[in-house]
Amino acid sequence: MVAAPAAVTASLTAGIVHAGPTTVGGAAAGVLAAGVGWYRGHPDSWDAVVAPQARALRRRWLSRTYLGPWWRRITEACGLVTVHRVTEVINVPRIIRIRSHSPCTETVYVRLLLGQTPKQWQEAAEALAVALRAERIGVERVGPQVIALIVQRSEPFDQVIVPPDLPADADATSLRQVYLGETEYGTDWHAPLIGQHWLVSGATGSGKNSVTWMALRACAPLIRDGLVRLHVVNPKGTELNALTPVAYRYAETDGDIVDVLSGFWEIMQDRKKVLAEQGRRTFDMSHETPLDLLLVDELGAVTGYGDRSLTRGAQAVLPLILSQARALGGTVIGALQEPTKDVIPQRDLFSLRVCMRSTSSGHPDMVLGENMRLRGALADEIPNEESSAGIGFVVNQRSRTPMRVRAAYCDDTDVADLVHVAGWPHTELATTG
């Protein structure tokens, strides 16, 4: 653990011996001047290239937390060491390296001891967070005998994320990578819209519809050009009612909601016939076969605790839509507050799931998958404050580890701009029901 400081000291000593202190001092001053010039002249590239390395170096070697005696003390206190049964020598997990992608979060790569499993570290995550004075710790399996500890020191999202400008042309956007906001690593949060169904869960005021609005911003020029059709189910009659002028079909009442869902399924059945006739197995978005996007706000009111006739009608077609529509050019975005099985029995049919601030510690596992809260998805601990709206967790599809994210916020002006750009060219076709 002292290899890096020792190497630096040895290099400086060797340089002074061979070149003299004046030469070494001049070179060091030149490097410092170049660094200052880089920082002041190109701060963005500095933050991307140099700052993460500098933070990682500081946290690894200048902060006592990860130095030998302190790291040993922490792992011992959390029960993450092993003791040789004969010699009674205490074996301590070794830190391989540290990465610091943002000022608020660091990733500590640890080599496990023989006999240890990632699950042991997941179960000790809460104790580790206390010992490391961190807000949250997630545990990710990186490879054989190697894990990564995602250590969140403070809230990475202390400011509202402003959405990017609306794309003006259909060619300027890709629905295979839709920008939604930022991740806790300081990178952009993207998600595919084509061939996916999204489920967004969160308590009142958690910012669920921020995800929906960001998806629609990417679709705006495609809606205008007839490449995307919106089917909007809006039981509350608020928020999504701004989409009435650009919706292909729109519904608020129980009967109309069932009609929209049934009509969506009929379109999917017709699409299946078209693809079969053309000998195609996959969907390609075009004017003849547009992407049909079904938005369901307050999904629980439709599937779980709504009127019995509404629930029966929705449950008759929604499982079919969720299980078959992805390959046929149909995408569903559903938002709800209570993700229990009796409210939304088909939650496992949603391929992308987002869990925002929740009122129950069981909700992260219900939405994201088994043991996701244990692995760091502490959605129930997100503060119930307006400044925390849009913050939640998604599962990293590569590592199957929960990742903290924040969706960009669209205000009324942003929504109005979206509707203006989408400007459905045949608004007389928009119907209620």
For the domain that residue 263 is a member of, what is the CATH number? 3.40.50.300
- Binding-site residue numbers are 202-209
- Whole-angstrom CA distances from 244 to 206, 282, 300, 387, 432 are 24, 30, 22, 29, 9
Answer yes or no: is pLDDT of 129 > 70: yes
- Looking at 225-285, list the stretches that DSSP marks H as alpha helix, in order from N- to C-terminal side: 254-277
Residue 335: name the closest of 200, 168, 171, 136 by CA: 200
Domain boundary among 152, 187, 222: 152
| Total-model pTM | 0.81
61 burial class (0-12, 13-18, 19+ CB within 10 angstroms)?
A: middle
State which of 121, 152, 183 marks the end of a domain: 152
380 burial (CB, 10 Å; 0-12 / 13-18 / 19+) is middle
Residue 114, φ and ψ in degrees, nearest 5: -60, 130
Q: Computed over its alpha carbons, how large is the radius of gyration of the chain?
A: 26
pLDDT, tens digit, 9 for 90 and up, residues 145-190: 999 999 998 888 989 999 999 988 888 888 999 999 999 988 899 9
Report whether pLDDT(8) > 70.
no
Q: 335 lies in a domain?
A: yes
pLDDT single digits (tens) 364-387: 999 999 889 888 899 999 999 999
Binding site as annotated, residues for ATP: 202-209
161, 178, 190, 333 from 181: Cα distances, Å: 7, 9, 7, 17
What is the domain range of residue 102? 46-152
**Do 407 and 297 share a structural domain?**
yes
Please calculate the CA angle 44-356-390 and round it to the nearest 5 degrees: 45
**Residue 343 confidence (pLDDT) above 60:** yes
Mean pLDDT of 307-326: 87
Directed axis angle between helix 208-224 and helix 412-422, to 10°? 30
- Determine the pLDDT at residue 16: 57
Is 408 among the domain residues? yes
Whether residue 175 sits in one domain with residue 144: no
Residues 77, 103 within the same domain: yes
Of 152, 178, 194, the residue at which a domain comes to its end is 152
How many domains does the chain contain in total? 2
- Residue 23 in any domain: the answer is no
How does the average pLDDT of the chain come out, rounded? 85
Measured N-to-C along each axis, helices 308-324 and 254-277 cross at an angle, to the nearest 10 degrees, of: 20
Sign of CA dihedral 379, 381, 385, 387: negative
Task: Note whether 307 and 343 are same-domain residues.
Answer: yes
Q: Tell me the pLDDT tens digit for each residue of 93-123.
A: 999 999 887 788 889 999 999 999 999 999 9
Is a pLDDT exceeding 50 seen at residue 1? no
Query: What pLDDT is stored for residue 190 in this prediction?
Result: 95
Domain co-membership, 138 together with 221:
no
The model's pLDDT over 218-250, given as tens digits with 9 standing for 90+, comes to 999 999 999 999 999 999 888 899 999 999 999
Encode pLDDT of 266-289 as tens digits: 999 999 998 888 878 778 898 888
Placement of tokens 């209620």 in the chain: 432
> Of all residues in the chain, what percent carry a pLDDT higher than 90?
53
Query: 3-state DSSP call for residue 231?
Result: strand
- pLDDT of res. 37: 57
Rounded distance between C-alpha atoms, residue 211 and residue 218, angstroms: 11
pLDDT at 181: 96
Tell me, yes or no, whether 281 and 378 share the same domain. Answer: yes
The predicted structure's pLDDT at residue 81: 94
**Is position 38 within any domain?**
no
92, part of any domain: yes
* Type and span of the H or E element at 190: strand 188-191
Phi/psi of residue 328, each to 5°? Answer: -105, 10
pLDDT at 21: 65
Q: Do the domain assignments include residue 37? A: no
Q: For the range 51-57, what are the long-range contacts, defined as Cβ-Cβ under 8 Å and sequence gap of 24 or more?
A: 52/99, 52/100, 52/101, 55/100, 55/103, 55/106, 56/97, 56/98, 56/99, 56/100, 56/106, 57/4
> Do 290 and 333 belong to one domain?
yes
Looking at the structure, tell me whether residues 303 and 355 fall in a common domain: yes
In a domain, 13, yes or no: no
- The tokens describing 89, both together, are 């020598």
In this structure, what DSSP letter does residue 175 have?
T
Q: Give the CATH number of the domain where residue 118 resides.
A: 3.30.980
Same-domain status, 226 and 286:
yes
Cα–Cα distances (Å) from 368 to 54, 376, 397, in that order, read 34, 11, 11
Q: How does residue 432 score in pLDDT terms, banded at 50, 70 and 90?
A: very low
Among 111, 89, 108, which Cα is nearest to 100's?
108
Residues 142 and 175 in one domain: no
> Rounded to an integer, what distance in angstroms lies between the CA atom of residue 60 and that of residue 96?
10
Q: Is there a contact between 432 and 409 (Cβ–Cβ < 8 Å)?
A: no
Question: 196 vs 33, which has greater pLDDT?
Answer: 196
Tell me: do 133 and 214 sit in the same domain: no
Please name the residues in contact with 374: beta carbons below 8 A apart, sequence gap of 6 or more: 122, 123, 125
Q: From CA 30, how far away is CA 23, in angstroms rounded?
A: 11
Band of pLDDT at residue 430, cut at 50, 70 and 90: very low
Average pLDDT over residues 304-318: 80
Q: Give φ, ψ of 277 to 5 degrees.
A: -65, -35
In a domain, 342, yes or no: yes
Sign of CA pseudo-dihedral 89, 90, 93, 95: negative
Mean local confidence (pLDDT), 314-328: 91
Average pLDDT over residues 43-59: 62
Comparing 24-38, 125-139, 193-207, 416-430, the range with the smallest average pLDDT is: 24-38
Query: In this model, does residue 10 exceed pLDDT 80?
Result: no
